[in-house]
Structures are given as C-alpha cells and as structure tokens.
Amino acid sequence: MHGPGSAADSSVATLEPITLSEVQHRVLAEDELLLDLYLGPEVSLLLAVTKRTCRVIRLPAESELEHKIRSQHEMLAQRPQPGEIASSEAVLLTAGEAMGDLLLADLDDLITASRWILYSPDAVFNLLPLAAMLPAGTELAWSRIPSATILARLRKDRASDPGQSSSGILALVGGRKDASRPLFGARREAQVLVNRFKGVEVRTYTRNLAAQSDSLSDSLSLADLARYEILHLAAHTAVNDETPWQSSVILPGFGSEGRLAASSIATNSFDTRLAVLAACESGGGRILSGEGVLGLTSAFLSAGVPAVVATLWPVDDAITAQIMSRFYDELAAGHEVGDALQIARQVVRNDPATSHPFFWAGYTLVGDAHIKVALQRYWPVRRCILGGLGLLALALFLFSFRRPA
C-alpha cells in the first residue's frame, strides 16, 4: 500500500495508523472478530479484537514458523493425484489443525460468538488461507484485509459514498500462455455472465485477436475500466516479487504494453465496487511486514475498489468456472460479496470429488466483505417457453371441459 514510488497516490501515502479504540468503536461490527498477526525475530503476536475485547497471544519467532507454513502452502497449492486425494487431504487436515491450535486455541469463545473473521496476516502467513487453519466442519465466513488501517479507510469511503456511480460488468478475457487463443475456461466464464446478466461487456485480448469486443467496436483505456461496477479479469498474471507494483494482468493489445499493471491501477481512482481476479496466483506478490501482500489486490484497494476476489495459487480451470458461476448467482440473489464467495467455496468443498483444499481454499476475498453489487438477471428463455407452453396446455384443458352455451 506504499504505492509505486514517487507516483504513489497521496491519499494512500498519508494514511494515519488507526488506534485500537477506533477499531473497536468505529470500524468493527458487533459480530466481527479481527485477527491481526505480527511476526518478529524473537516473538510473534496475534491480536484478537472485537468491539469489547482485545487479547494478545504470544507466538514463536518467525524463523520457527516459516518452514512449517511454506511446507503447508506447497501442499495446498499442489494438485492432488487421483489416487492420493484422501491421503493428501488427511495430511493437510492434520497440518491445518496443528497451526490452528497454535493460533486459535485460546479464542474458541470469541470465534463461536462471531459471524465474521477479518484476517490480517503478516509476512509468510500471507501464503495460508484462514480456512486451512480452522477446525474441520467450521463454516465461519472470513475475509482478508491488508491491515486494520486499510479496512478503516475502505469502510469510511463506503459510509461517505453518495450513491451508485458505476454500473455493469466488464469481463476481460486473456489468452493462453502463448497468447494465441483465448483461455477456454475464461471464455466460458465470460459467456455465462453474458447469458445470465444484463449490462455485461466482454473484451478478448490475444496476440491474434487483440482487443476484440463482443459488444463495442472501440478500444478501452484504463480510465474506461473505472466506470464499471464489476471488473472480471480472467487472464494470466505476471507477479513480480522484487518490484510488486510491476505485477500485471497480461492482456495483449491493451494499452501500449499489452498488460494491465498494478502501478497503473494504484495511481487511478475507480468507482468499481468489486474486482474479480480469476487468474493464477492473482493474490501473490512481495510480502511486506504489517501490510500484507503487495501487488494487484493492493493496487485495486489503493484505487478505491473496496472488495477484490483473488487466488493464492494456480487454480483449476473447471473449478474456477464452477465457483464463479455460483458466486455471481449469490450476488444476484442479494448476498454480500463475502457471503457469496463463502457459499460458492462451500459448495465445492462439500462435493467429495473436490473436497481437497486445493480446489477451494485458494479463492479469497481481500477487503470489505459487506459490499453489495447490483446484478440484473435475464429471465431464462427456456423457462419462459416452458412456462408459456404449460399455461397454454392448461388453457386448452380447461376449454375442453367448458359446457356449450
């Protein structure tokens, strides 16, 4: 959140750290629990904060935790072989329970009393989703935040929002690794949005078919992106660990460099309410102690987007399409962003074929979970036709029993 060097947005660069009292009285809701991690060379700390309570849990030094966390992340991010799903899932369950016991053992009463956990990881803990550390069977909703200070700014912006100034969905579809053809799953995701919801525009960016528009003939600029309520980016990403603000979404034909860079996003102002980064490891980036993972997710938050859906490791193409389909259905039903993603994850988790954490745990929400977006559905044509035929059959049936005058 420090911004890309001297070009940093001044509103981000001058953020004042928030106090504990302000977090409790102005930021947190009654049913929320904030877990704020700080890793250190000698001792690490976990702050557990609700509106009325603050507990400090002492943890081992970062060096004692790092190897375990990286090993667990590698197992989570590795697609399980068909014959090893059960055994791999059991190993991950054991590792997750051990890490959960270390972090959360003294917080059972606070977790039970909460509906939402706001998880602010630090350093190497950014590699793990909180779901991987919660007890088996726990369906508690959670979201990630870079810090309590950033959460306070996002919620202040939401409270002062005069009204909806953005509308519609823009889906940007990228190409395969050779950039010659669109990603199949990404194209399918975009088509589902077009078929189900009003106000959807799709742009396909590949080397051979740069900036093809499914609905408009003109090309888009970065400023154009900011006017949409939802941005859905289904493309490969390039994560730069050394200079995180050079991380980008690869879109051949977009702008002069064929990519949407984090630095460009961070130095603009977006009216967008939700950004969905349906791409491999879109939540990655350089780890910055105290402020979470820098990169594309923080760039969108810097630009004023209050909620960003991202992934923590290379994700399964078919599962992504399934999760995104259910996610948008839940948004259209009026659910908040956090609830919608939690439901979509849980559906995949409850299926024995995809219960392994690799398939669902990497999808994470960064930012304010309580954002709502306006989605207007098309009335399904098939249902209309079937309904019309049913009414016609009923009318004919009733007519056949009418007595002659």
Same domain for 212 and 135, yes or no, is no
77 with 193, same domain: the answer is no
Cα(253)–Cα(129) distance, rounded to whole angstroms? 34
Give the DSSP H/E element, type plus range, for residue 9: none
Owning domain of residue 133: 7-156
Residue ending a domain, choose from 130, 156, 182: 156
Segments of the chain with pLDDT less than 70? 1-15, 135-139, 160-166, 175-185, 207-219, 241, 279-294, 380-405
CA angle 96, 343, 345 (to 5 degrees): 45
- How far is residue 274's CA from residue 342's CA, in Å, rounded to a whole number? 16
Based on the domain organization, do 178 and 150 belong to the same domain? Answer: no
Given this model, what pLDDT does residue 383 score? 47
In this structure, are 172 and 140 located in the same domain?
Answer: no
* CB contact at 8 A, 308 and 365: yes
User: pLDDT tens across 301-352, in order?
Assistant: 989 999 999 988 887 878 888 899 999 999 999 999 999 999 999 999 999 8
Ordered DSSP codes for 82-96: GGGHHHHHHHHHHHH
Q: Are residues 185 and 146 in the same domain?
A: no
**DSSP-derived 3-state class of residue 373:** coil
Residue with tokens 């392994």: 356
Residues 114, 191: one domain? no
248 vs 264: CA distance, rounded Å: 9
* Position 159, amino acid: A
Letter for the amino acid at 34?
A: L
Query: Furthest-apart CA pair in the chain: how many Å?
Result: 97
Per-residue pLDDT at 164: 57
Number of domains the chain contains: 2
**Which bin fits 304, alpha (ψ -120 to 50), beta or left (φ > 0)?**
left
The pLDDT value given to residue 314: 82
What does the H/E/C string look like for 175-213?
A: ECCCCCCECHHHHHHHHHHHHHECCEEEEECCCCCCCEE
The answer to whether residue 342 sits within a structural domain is yes
Specify the 3-state DSSP secondary structure of 119: strand
Q: 211, 220 in Cβ contact below 8 A?
A: yes
One domain for residues 66 and 110:
yes
What global pTM score does this model have? 0.84
Last residue of a domain, one of 99, 129, 156: 156
User: In the structure encoding, which two tokens stand for residue 125, read together?
Assistant: 């803990």
Q: Which residues contact 166 (CB under 8 A, 6 or more apart)?
A: 226, 227, 228, 229, 271, 272, 273
Helix orientation angle between 337-350 and 317-332, rounded to the nearest 10 degrees: 140
Q: Does some domain include residue 381?
A: no
The answer to whether position 1 is within a domain reads no
Are 292 and 152 members of one domain? no
